[in-house]
Amino acid sequence: MAKPTLIVVGNGMVGHKLIELLIQKRAAQQYRILVFGEEARMAYDRVHLSSYFEGKTADDLALSNRDYYEDNGIELFTNERITEIDSKLRIVRSESQEISYDTLILATGSFPFVPPIRGREAKGVFVYRTIDDLDAMAAYAKHCKIGAVIGGGLLGLEAANALKNLGLETHVVEVAPYLMPRQVDELGGEILRGEIERLGIHVHTGKSTSELFCEAGAVRGMNFADGESLEAEMVVFSAGIRPRDELGRAAGLRLGERGGIIIDDFCKTSDTAIFAIGECALYKNQIFGLVAPGYEMARVVAEQVLGNGKPKPFTGAELSTKLKLLGIDVASFGQITADNIHSKEICLLDSHTGSYKKIIVSADGKRLLGAILVGDAESFDMLLQVKQNNMALPPHPEDLVLPAREASTSSNSFGLDALPDSAKICTCENVSKGDICSAINENGFTTVGEIKDCTRAGTGCGSCVNNLKKLLNQQMEKRGIAVVNHLCEHFPYSRQELYHLIRVQRISSFSDVLARFGKGLGCEICKPAVASILASTWNDYILEGEKATLQDTNDYYLANIQRDGTYSVIPRIAGGEITPDKLIALGQVAKDFNLYLKITGGQRIDMLGAHLDQLPLIWERLIEAGFESGHAYGKALRTVKSCVGSTWCRYGQQDSVSLAIMVENRYKGLRAPHKLKSACSGCARECAEAQSKDFGMIATERGYNLYLGGNGGMRPRHAQLFAEDLNEEEVIKYLDRYLMFYIRTADKLQRTADWLESLEGGIEYLRQVIIEDSLGIADELERDMAHIVGSYDCEWKRTLEDSERMKRFRYFVDSNDRDANVVFVEQRGQKRPAFPEERAALEKLS
């Protein structure tokens, strides 16, 4: 007898979750299972869609792959929309086929609502829902300067972030009087607005858009109901979602008054053979636009079709939100306003640091009913757990929103310890604290990755990963396993501990460190790490004796290795200032040695394609022309970028170039846990992009604002404002302390942004240490820095002085031949290394 047929319409996050559950339970043995998705792509992570503009690819976002479906006997049809359901004959139809079903599951999701206003069809109008939408936005944005998002809710702000990442002047238009009206209250919305405006995004609230105006079919802006208008060359609608219920409607299923396929506690529609799950389903007059309730519905359906007659019913969901919008924490759950009869509110508004915390408690002050957190959502997980487990509040519930004070005896947090085993840690995947702890203990897990693979916790929205880490550490400590932040298998110490030991015991060689604190022979992790600690403590020449063999190839040859084994050379050009003579000298050297030239992001010149034996010859010429090492090869200070500042610029407020040069020369050669980048801008226009650097100075009328802990790269972070209106002396004093404190306490390969995030108390704690000297180490930090600054020596100059050392600059120990495998081809008038296939073709020719 043929197996009954089960058809899933929709391959979004919830549709995919259902398939995953069916596969886990081996449903393909009972059913023929078919899946239809109208997008060309398989299910992907829509929750983190905005990371697509921050470097993630469509592959990174994909939740699965075709092999997984195929290997498990699931027939998948993407790019194939189901156009009709005949519920009487139990048949679904697409453009190319019709198939009978026994069980049908609709997981068709939702579509972005676009209000019926004039101009909505114009070119340049977008919605924010699919990867295709994002691709279209990115392509169109290339020709635009100003973009506007209609809708200041959660998705609208994500879309605004996307526009900002695309380089547009960005506006957000919200019809309600404040931002994110569904998640926060008016005060929270105002704090959020302040923070978002600080990032350069323009916010317009209380604005109802009446029409879009166009020119030659392309949008040019919008008119508001109050008569005002806004120019924009690109408009993104993010005015809420509507359920994709058209198939259900045509099939005669019962729908809600405002749409949505009505389901019961078991996700059944009005037709017993048809289920609906996710955003197309209407449960008790509510559409759930979040992934966790959708997953819960998928579970309810999976259990039923597999013959578990009476599964745990769907009972609705706690609508909690926690996200980082444009770097700003916003979180809320439960009731967000109090009626002052059955519930009361306690709130803390701190417009100085831009944070707002509010909790809603029962009238007797014993139970937590809801919370709003803006700017600082640190306590979200704890509060949500208190609510979900209906835990009794402490005698002074206000402690839950007040910041912790030193010497305070009252505990203002419920540790994970206090939670019962039934507490749900991962609400997306419905995993409890007990499940996680027993998985850790039974399998001896030591990493969060293992917990994720085994329990699926942390694989949905990811907001519980911090708690997973904490639980793991707790369980490991209980089992007597030290929580491992060891440098590597050779050293049972963290970088910070090892730094301390080396410093206090005045050790100056790797063999000594290894003999006293480690075991084995060392490896590519601990050797460079120890070499870096030795360098930032004693500042001896890094290629002296044994130290040379600890260095990565880049530090060993004082140049940057490229994919073909040749090296690049970057001389220091402090502050990006260069004389014509020096520029000509660089050009001449590049010409004489046939090097490829590229201007770097740090206002320097990269000379690529140097053979090993050429490096000393190149440097002889560069030193003669007055250059010194740029340390581009080291975990060290790279550059201090600058704009021209008050010396030329009509807006400049301070001489930013001079400060940049001074700072760069002060810290050049400083070895650190990771590379350091800096910049100095002459006015608030910030042309030098100082806020994306490990430390940045921005000129004001009265001096400089100092920003710390910024980063570009894969996960960009805005630097945080540390202190305002400093004079140059103060800038140097604070930087000395900041950099030494970072060098002393950071983990291996930890950039300042991550380090700052990991410091308990964050920037405020850093202020205490650096400005108020709360640890009493400021003098010591300054002395250490003075030693490093005073003992600076150009590594290349030093290296050239020693003819013995020159011997290492060749490919072979016993000949002067070059690597025959290094072959260059020409591109745009310069050389580049041949790709393997080009190399093979060239070899054939010869």
Partner 1 sequence: MSYWKKVCQLDEIAPFSGVATLVNGEQVAIFRVNAEVYALSNFDPFSEANVLSRGLVGDRNGILKVASPIYKHNFDLLTGRCLDDDNVRIPTWRTRVVDGIVQVEVQ
> Which residues make up the interface to partner 1 (CB under 8 A)?
489-490, 520-524, 526-528, 546, 548-550, 552-554, 556-557, 561, 563-565, 807, 811-815, 817, 819, 821, 836
In the complex, minimum distance from the CB of residue 603 to partner 1, in angstroms, rounded to a whole number: 27
Residue 130: both structure tokens together = 């699919």
In the complex, minimum distance from the CB of residue 484 to partner 1, in angstroms, rounded to a whole number: 15
626 touches 823 (CB < 8 A) = no
In the complex, minimum distance from the CB of residue 466 to partner 1, in angstroms, rounded to a whole number: 29
Rounded-to-integer distance, Cα 316 and Cα 168, Å: 40
Three-state DSSP at 287 gives coil
Closer residue to partner 1 in complex, CB, 422/549: 549
Residue 466: both structure tokens together = 């911090």
472 touches 482 (CB < 8 A) = no
Three-state DSSP at 259 gives coil
* Crossing angle for the helix pair 495-504 and 728-745, to the nearest 10 degrees: 100
Closer residue to partner 1 in complex, CB, 409/815: 815
Closer residue to partner 1 in complex, CB, 176/523: 523
In the complex, minimum distance from the CB of residue 563 to partner 1, in angstroms, rounded to a whole number: 6
Q: Which amino acid is at 708?
A: L
In the complex, minimum distance from the CB of residue 680 to partner 1, in angstroms, rounded to a whole number: 34
In the complex, minimum distance from the CB of residue 810 to partner 1, in angstroms, rounded to a whole number: 9
Instruction: Considering only CA atoms, give the Rg of the chain.
Output: 31
In the complex, minimum distance from the CB of residue 524 to partner 1, in angstroms, rounded to a whole number: 4
Closer residue to partner 1 in complex, CB, 500/831: 831
Closer residue to partner 1 in complex, CB, 491/707: 491
3-state SS string for 735-802: HHHHHHHHHHHCCCCCCHHHHHHHCCCHHHHHHHHHCCCCCCCHHHHHHHHHHHHHCCCCHHHHHHCC
Residue 287's φ and ψ, nearest 5 degrees, are: -100, 135
In the complex, minimum distance from the CB of residue 551 to partner 1, in angstroms, rounded to a whole number: 8
Rounded-to-integer distance, Cα 469 and Cα 480, Å: 16
Residue 374: both structure tokens together = 């803006």
In which element (H, E) is residue 600 found? none
Closer residue to partner 1 in complex, CB, 228/817: 817
User: If you ran DSSP here, which 8-state letter would residue 812 be given?
Assistant: B
In the complex, minimum distance from the CB of residue 821 to partner 1, in angstroms, rounded to a whole number: 5
Three-state DSSP at 168 gives coil
Residue 394's φ and ψ, nearest 5 degrees, are: -70, 165
User: If you ran DSSP here, which 8-state letter would residue 391 be given?
Assistant: P
CB within 8 A of 842, min separation 6: which ones?
823, 825, 834
Closer residue to partner 1 in complex, CB, 561/597: 561
Closer residue to partner 1 in complex, CB, 310/563: 563
Closer residue to partner 1 in complex, CB, 67/814: 814
In the complex, minimum distance from the CB of residue 749 to partner 1, in angstroms, rounded to a whole number: 12
Please, how many CA atoms are within 13 Å of residue 469, restricted to the half-sphere of its CB?
Answer: 8
In the complex, minimum distance from the CB of residue 446 to partner 1, in angstroms, rounded to a whole number: 16
In the complex, minimum distance from the CB of residue 685 to partner 1, in angstroms, rounded to a whole number: 40
Closer residue to partner 1 in complex, CB, 417/814: 814
* Crossing angle for the helix pair 154-165 and 131-141, to the nearest 10 degrees: 40
In the complex, minimum distance from the CB of residue 748 to partner 1, in angstroms, rounded to a whole number: 14
User: If you ran DSSP here, which 8-state letter would residue 390 be given?
Assistant: T
Closer residue to partner 1 in complex, CB, 151/616: 616
36 touches 93 (CB < 8 A) = no
* Crossing angle for the helix pair 291-305 and 13-24, to the nearest 10 degrees: 40
Rounded-to-integer distance, Cα 309 and Cα 311, Å: 6
Closer residue to partner 1 in complex, CB, 714/813: 813
397 touches 359 (CB < 8 A) = yes
Give the neighbor-by-neighbor strand order of the sheet with 567-569.
560-561, 567-569, 605-610, 596-599
Closer residue to partner 1 in complex, CB, 306/823: 823
Distances (CA, A) of 278 to 35, 110, 250: 15, 9, 19
In the complex, minimum distance from the CB of residue 111 to partner 1, in angstroms, rounded to a whole number: 44
6 touches 34 (CB < 8 A) = yes
Closer residue to partner 1 in complex, CB, 567/704: 567
The beta-carbon contacts of 162-166 under 8 Å, at least 24 apart in sequence, are 162/50, 162/52, 162/53, 162/128, 162/134, 162/137, 162/236, 163/137, 163/234, 163/236, 164/199, 164/200, 164/201, 164/326, 165/50, 165/53, 165/54, 166/53, 166/137, 166/138, 166/141
Closer residue to partner 1 in complex, CB, 563/844: 563
In the complex, minimum distance from the CB of residue 523 to partner 1, in angstroms, rounded to a whole number: 4
Closer residue to partner 1 in complex, CB, 562/665: 562
Closer residue to partner 1 in complex, CB, 349/561: 561
Residue 9: both structure tokens together = 């319409």
In the complex, minimum distance from the CB of residue 835 to partner 1, in angstroms, rounded to a whole number: 9
Closer residue to partner 1 in complex, CB, 421/843: 843
In the complex, minimum distance from the CB of residue 522 to partner 1, in angstroms, rounded to a whole number: 5
User: What count of other Cβ atoms lies within 10 Å of the Cβ of residue 689?
Assistant: 17
Query: Does residue 354 come out as left (phi exceeding 0), alpha (psi in the -120 to 50 range) or beta?
Result: left
572 touches 668 (CB < 8 A) = yes
Rounded-to-integer distance, Cα 644 and Cα 663, Å: 15
